[in-house]
Amino acid sequence: MAPSWWVKKAHRLTPMVVNNWSMVKVNRNKNAKQLTWVLFLKAHRAAGCITAIASTTFSLTYAVRRRVTAGCTDAEVDTGKSMQRFYACIKACLWLSFLLLGFEITAYFKGWQFRIPDLHLQYLYTIMNPLAFKGFFDWAYSKWVLIRVEYLAPPLQLLANVCVCLFLIQSLDRFVLCLGCCWIRFRKIKPVANQSLQLDLEAGYGDGFFPMVLVQIPMCNEKEVYQQSIEAVCNLNWPKSKILIQVLDDSDDPTTQWLIKEEVHKWKHDGVNIVYRHRVVRDGYKAGNLKSAMNCSYVKNYQFVAIFDADFQPSPDFLTRTVTHFKDNEELGLVQARWSFVNKDENLLTRLQYINLAFHFEVEQQVNGVFLNFFGFNGTAGVWRIKALEDSGGWLERITVEDMDIAVRAHLHGWKMIFLNDVECKCELPESYEAYKKQQHRWHSGPMQLFRLCLFDIIKSKISIWKKGNLIFLFILLRKLILPFYSFTLFCIILPMTMFIPEATLPVLIICYIPVTISFLNILPSPRSFPFIVPYLLFENTMLVTKFNALISGLFQLGNAYEWVVTKKSGRSSEGDFESLIEKDQKWSPRGISEPDLEKKVKEEDNRSYRKRKYNRVYTKELMLAFLLLTAAARSLLAAQGVHFYPSCCFKE
DSSP characters for 355-397?
HHHHHIIIIIIHHHHHHTS-----SSSEEEEHHHHHHTT----
Instruction: Write down the catalytic residue from 249, 403, 405, 577.
Output: 403
CA gap 178, 378 in Å, rounded:
21
CB under 8 Å to 317, separation ≥6 — which residues? Answer: 199, 237
Closest alpha carbon to 492 in 316, 351, 624: 624
Terminal alpha carbon distance of the chain: 94
Instruction: Write down the catalytic residue from 250, 309, 311, 577.
Output: 250
Q: In the chain, helix, strand, coil percent, each to 5? A: 65, 10, 30
Which residues does residue 549 pair with via DSSP β-bridges, in sequence order? none
What are the E-state strand segments in 111-254?
213-219, 243-249
Q: Are strands 304-307 and 213-219 parallel, antiparallel or unpaired?
A: parallel
Do the beta carbons of residue 215 and residue 558 sit within 8 Å? no
CB under 8 Å to 342, separation ≥6 — which residues? Answer: 313, 426, 427, 428, 572, 573
Closest alpha carbon to 256 in 609, 600, 611, 605: 605
CB under 8 Å to 152, separation ≥6 — which residues? Answer: 501, 503, 504
Do the beta carbons of residue 153 and residue 161 sit within 8 Å? no
**565-570 CB contacts, 8 Å cutoff, 24+ apart:** 565/438, 565/442, 566/220, 566/221, 566/222, 567/430, 567/435, 567/438, 567/439, 568/430, 568/432, 568/434, 568/435, 569/222, 569/224, 569/225, 569/310, 569/311, 569/428, 570/224, 570/343, 570/428, 570/431
Length of the chain: 653
The SS3 assignment for 559 reads: coil
Which residues does residue 30 pair with via DSSP β-bridges, in sequence order? none
CA distances from 501 to 100, 139, 233, 292 (A): 10, 18, 59, 57
> 75, exposed or middle or buried, with CB in 10 Å at 0-12, 13-18, 19+?
middle
Do the beta carbons of residue 416 and residue 331 sit within 8 Å? yes
CB under 8 Å to 478, separation ≥6 — which residues? Answer: 169, 170, 173
**Active site (annotated) includes residue 173:** no
Cα angle 456, 556, 84 (rounded to 5 degrees) comes to: 165
DSSP code for 313: B
**Active site (annotated) includes residue 249:** no
User: Any idea which residues carry the catalytic annotation?
Assistant: 250, 403
